[in-house]
Structure 1
Amino acid sequence: MTALRNNLSALWWVPRGIVFGLMAFFIFGPLFNMLLWTVTEKWYFPHTFPLEYGFSSWEKVFAPRGGALESLGNSLVVALLTVVVSLALAIPAGYALARLKLPLRGVILLAFLIPQAFPNLTVYVNIARIFYEIGLNGTIPGVVLVHVSHGLVYAVWIATAAFSAIDPELEQAARNIGAGALRTFRDVTLPLAAPGLMASAIFVFLESLDEFTGSYFVGAPDVNMLPLLLYTTASGGNYQIASITALLLLVPSLVFMAVVERFLKADVLSRVGQ
């Protein structure tokens, strides 16, 4: 009887292994295929693997006329500016929503989700028309403003959660020993909220780095961005250049997500939306 149970227990790992194997295939299979394309010189059906390997596509991407370095620089500048503007708005807003007894607080938080509630295409077409009239279309400030409209969703919600996770008695103790409101916020509240704010900044950075629709309607063709370059090369059938561009987008995303895992703690997550 014991031997039968051991055999059944051993067989139970078979379906588990199949499920985990399929999950690994669907998750890492496309990534492996992308990596193969980055070093492929010749690959066509029905061959399973490339016929020739090389780095000539890398040379084309990083050539002065390749556009990748300019697109990467623009994407990083826009993402960093988006983070700065979003946090400048989200820190006071998040503190007020966390500490002040505001009427309709839930409605205010819900209002930051409105940009996500409508189809992006129709919203950005109208934004592009307005920006064209005031001279912001085709400029980095215009692209930054569009990215901020989406980045504020993460920035405000996570900032509110970060400030809500701080014990108010710590601020009261600082005030009781003579610290003013501004000094209490600078020396007590802000350092304690820093991990959550760092996670907020990272989410905004990644959202901006991968944003395509807003960058296309507001920035193209004057402001070249990595998502635009990725779309252009992929639609043209140049899978080598498209894969290298996708890898350039993937690397910072993986690095920053690792940082998020370190800084965004469970006590902050539990406060989101409260």
Structure 2
Amino acid sequence: MTMFSALTSPSVHAMPRIDLWWVPRGVVLGLLAFVVFGPLVNLVLWTVAERWYFPHALPAQYGFSYWARVFAPRGNAIDALTTSIFVALLTVALSLAFAIPAGFALARLKLSLRGVILLAFLIPQAFPNLPVYVNIARLFYQVGLNGTVPGVVLVHTTHGLVYAVWIATAAFASVDAELEQAARSVGATALQAFRDVTLPLAAPGLLASAIFVFLESLDEFTGSYFVGAPDVNLLPLLLYSASSGGNYQIASITALLLLVPSVAFMLVVERFLKADVLSKVGK
């Protein structure tokens, strides 16, 4: 009986089973990390590279002299950053001034062409930017808007309205209409119910739409180039000038200046734009 048990029981010294699935998964994750973070690492290296030439895989000399050159009075980076932020804030204000009433109407009113109206805001994204901005620049020259901040703000707003109106509509649709009716039943006017009930509840979604518009304006190049250059100096234009001139250090520093607020604001969007708001987009 003892011999039979020893023969049928599993061996104490059996080899452990090795899971080899971690090899392809590790390779895939490594490639994904390289695709995502590789360009960012290269960008950061260029910002501190004093000398970097073939065949060196890493910079031959590190330093911060190009940072000093970018932020010097003649570097125009501070002026470009200030103008870019100013234009982006004006774009946000103009977009929200239109998107809040439009989004509320699209969320609350039973419009037969509601879907068509929402799709109409996608038209600026449906056509190639280059021929559109060439014609806009020609029209703006005739009315005196080319090379001005208001002209650039108007062009940026045409793109920002896509995010502003769609997200504002979803934000107002996520607010229960019965809360407005309850406020009206205790004597509040329609404006008071909107101001004290609906608007605060929709504020996180509106904040997210404002951040999307801000980032879209901050990164917009084609419209800024054809409508604003050379009179309106923006960071994307400075980035283009440095890149086309082969000055990769200054171009990388400028790109990093654009990247930092984008990442910071996207973290804010992820916090405030909840799933119940996203589920209302396009409905």
Is TM (by shorter chain) over 0.5? Answer: yes
| Counterpart selection for 1:115 from 121, 124, 137 | 124
Equivalent residue, structure 2, for 1:161: 170
Structure 2 SS opposite 1:65: helix
Q: Which sections of structure 1, spanning at least 5 residues, go unmatched?
A: none
Partners of 1:215 and 1:245 in 2: CA distance: 16
Runs of 4+ in 1 over 6 A off after TM superposition: 1-5
Equivalent residue, structure 2, for 1:225: 234
Partners of 1:6 and 1:49 in 2: CA distance: 42
Partners of 1:13 and 1:99 in 2: CA distance: 52
Alignment of 1:43-122 (within 5 A): 43-122=52-131
Q: Displacement of 1:4 after TM fit?
A: 7.8
2:112 corresponds to which letter in structure 1? P
Equivalent residue, structure 2, for 1:186: 195
Equivalent residue, structure 1, for 2:135: 126
Equivalent residue, structure 1, for 2:39: 30
2:117 corresponds to which letter in structure 1? I
Is 1:213 aligned to 2:222, yes or no? yes
Q: Displacement of 1:177 after TM fit?
A: 0.8
Equivalent residue, structure 2, for 1:246: 255
| Counterpart selection for 2:25 from 5, 16, 19 | 16
1:273 corresponds to which letter in structure 2? G
Partners of 1:148 and 1:23 in 2: CA distance: 35
Q: What is the percentage of aligned positions where both structures have the same residue?
A: 77
* TM-superposition CA deviations, 1:100-148 (whole Å, max 9, x none): 1112100000000001111100100000000011000000000000000
Aligned residues: 272
TM-score where L is the length of structure 1: 0.97
Q: Which structure has the larger Rg over C-alpha atoms?
A: 2
Structure 1 SS opposite 2:57: coil
1:56 corresponds to which letter in structure 2? S
